[in-house]
Structure 1
Amino acid sequence: MDKIKVGFIGVGHMGSAIVEGMSKSDYFKNLEIFGFDHYPQGMESLNKNGQIITPVNDLNDLIKQADVIFLAIKPQGLADFAKEIQPSQALLKDKTFISMLAGTDVATLSQYIKAKNIIRIMPNVNASIGKSTIAVNYLNDSTNYDDLLSSFGTIFKIPESQFDVFTGVSGSGPAIVFLMIDSLANAAVYQGMNKKTATDLVAAMVEASGEYTIEKLKGTDLNARNLVDIVSSPGGTTVKAIMSLERNKFEASMNEAIDVMMPKKN
């Protein structure tokens, strides 16, 4: 079986995270990965323990070599990118582009990139450990790339109308969870535990709680609030903690955090 030639245009934080996650998956044996970036430090870091991505110095050379191309540039750079790839126009009809440009729908991408197929995704930083949550929208309703995308996480096939909220919850969500972990750890430090132990404890608890949530809600009509009730004994300490958070507008703060990330409606 010939390897799939995968190109990355932009190998910054997100591009690097995806390549790293792919390299740790069983599917990696099916891939040959190339990368183009004006700042090659990301690829140098990826290759420090053995080559997993081949740097390409010319953008149009990468397009020539790759069958599937991940586009990880700034959204405001799309028009300039389209000009840069003019020499490769004849090749695009045989290429699949996978875009992770925030706020840029498939219709807009199609105006600038005349490719055979365009797939829109939104991953997050957890791609580096193969556990990203990935929004996916296929222009041609193709499932040919499910295995490729699943090599760095779990895919959620959603309409484009839901991409903005997915980006807020999943794209920025890890930072909110990291802040929550640090806040809980600091609370434990205040009570006498050292910071390293507290952070490890909270991170392990959050990981297990996520798995518990998925397992317990699978195939049911329950939601996470039902799990809060399971943990909360009447008159117990957990109830007191939940009531304290509610008095301090915990849920309202979460709603506002997501709301400020959403595009403003005219």
Structure 2
Amino acid sequence: MFISRLPGSRGTLHAMTNIAVIGGGRIGEALIAGLLASGRDPRTVFVSEKSSERATQLSRRFGIRTLSARDAAEAADTIVVAVKPGDVESALSEIGDVFELSDNDKVVVSLAAGLSTSWLESKVPAGTAVVRVMPNTPMLVGKGMCVVSAGRYATDENVAFVSELLEPVGRVAVMAESALDAVTAVSGSGPAYFFLMVEAMVDAAVALGLPRPAAMELVVQTFLGSAEMFLAEEKQTGTLPSAVASELRYAVTSPGGTTAAALAEFERQGFRAAVLDALGAARDRSVKLGELY
């Protein structure tokens, strides 16, 4: 199943539901910022952060309460675990008894890569609703891509609510958990591929004689404009994304021209095969990391 939700399509699901964010790193902060920017009452958002300095910083920046993991989880209806994968088990252990105290009606949302819903469910009381999310770093600027998968006990309403929570930080899609290793390879790791391409093009531009600041501006604006152009064309035509990409590429490629020469060299160097192999390697590594748990 694939259900895509666009930013700005928020409903009014549980506007006063209390949200605990366990982990105040960059991803946790991005989620908090998005929640508050969307109009959520700061009194309904709590954060737990091991670093007291960081906790104070978040409290002052957003006007929210910083609590211990246990107190935050006890006060919340939805618990978002935004710590590193290796720290998830200890975080869930720290808040374990709050599920029993609450008649086990809390929802656990994991933003950690590689941890399956079945593994997460084994660390909380039986019957706890678990929703797994694969985010990516552009959520830090409100342009993320988050993919949501339901655990065994998560209801459609749970999934809809989590999707709504994530909409302020970008696009949201709902998929079967079996797709998440591939999702990790495409959108989870994807920003790094883009940054590598930026680096490569800037270095090439400098080698061709351009000043580095000018090269950076040319490359970044070209990527930004191309992405906006793609989205506008897709929206206007309703055509499949792959077809839009091909049409836009054809439009800028004159026969025998400079673009054609560059594209031919990309193909000669095995560009498409390299992309396929790279994403396959990322997918396989995601599978292996999941097996560690």
Instruction: Report the TM-score, using the length of structure 2 for normalisation.
Output: 0.79
- Whether the 8 Å CA contact 1:213–1:227 is kept in 2: the answer is yes
Instruction: Quote the residue 1:14 is aligned against.
Output: 27
Distance (whole Å) between structure 1 residues aligned to residue 19 and residue 183 of structure 2? 25
Distance (whole Å) between structure 1 residues aligned to residue 116 and residue 15 of structure 2? 32
Instruction: Report the TM-score, using the length of structure 1 for normalisation.
Output: 0.87
Is residue 69 of structure 2 the alignment partner of residue 59 of structure 1?
yes
Instruction: Quote the residue 2:141 is aligned against.
Output: 129
- In the TM superposition, 1:1-266 aligns within 5 A as 3-23=16-36, 25-29=37-41, 32-46=44-58, 50-56=61-67, 58-90=68-100, 91=102, 93-114=104-125, 116-138=128-150, 139-142=154-157, 143-218=160-235, 219-221=238-240, 222-263=243-284
- Whether the 8 Å CA contact 1:21–1:129 is kept in 2: the answer is no
Task: Report the CA distance between 1:100 and its aligned residue.
Answer: 1.3
- Whether the 8 Å CA contact 2:42–2:64 is kept in 1: the answer is no
Change (3 A) 1:197 1:31: farther
Task: Report the CA distance between 1:238 and its aligned residue.
Answer: 0.3
What amino acid is aligned across from residue 62 of structure 1 in structure 2?
Answer: A
Change (3 A) 1:116 1:83: closer
Change (3 A) 1:252 1:62: same
Change (3 A) 1:200 1:244: same
Task: Report the CA distance between 1:2 and its aligned residue.
Answer: 6.3
Q: Deviations over 1:11-68 (max 9, x none)?
A: 2232223333444x333457732211223454455456x3344321x22111112222
- Whether the 8 Å CA contact 1:127–1:152 is kept in 2: the answer is yes
- The 3-state SS of whatever aligns with 1:145 is helix
Taking every aligned residue pair, what percent have the same amino acid on both sides? 29
- Whether the 8 Å CA contact 2:33–2:62 is kept in 1: the answer is no
Distance (whole Å) between structure 1 residues aligned to residue 170 and residue 226 of structure 2? 18
Task: Report the CA distance between 1:239 and its aligned residue.
Answer: 0.5
Q: Which runs of 5+ in 1 are unaligned?
A: none
- Whether the 8 Å CA contact 1:17–1:125 is kept in 2: the answer is no
- The 3-state SS of whatever aligns with 1:98 is strand
Task: Report the CA distance between 1:74 and its aligned residue.
Answer: 3.1
Distance (whole Å) between structure 2 residues aligned to residue 167 and residue 140 of structure 1? 23
- Whether the 8 Å CA contact 1:4–1:30 is kept in 2: the answer is no
Distance (whole Å) between structure 1 residues aligned to residue 131 and residue 116 of structure 2? 10
Change (3 A) 1:11 1:182: same
Distance (whole Å) between structure 1 residues aligned to residue 228 and residue 99 of structure 2? 46
Q: Which runs of 5+ in 2 are unaligned?
A: 1-13, 289-293
Distance (whole Å) between structure 1 residues aligned to residue 44 and residue 224 of structure 2? 32
What amino acid is aligned across from residue 103 of structure 1 in structure 2?
Answer: G
Change (3 A) 1:182 1:238: same
Change (3 A) 1:135 1:41: farther
Greater relative contact order, per chain length (Cα 8 Å cut-off, separation 6+): 2
Task: Report the CA distance between 1:105 and its aligned residue.
Answer: 2.1
Distance (whole Å) between structure 2 residues aligned to residue 92 and residue 193 of structure 1? 64
- The 3-state SS of whatever aligns with 2:104 is helix
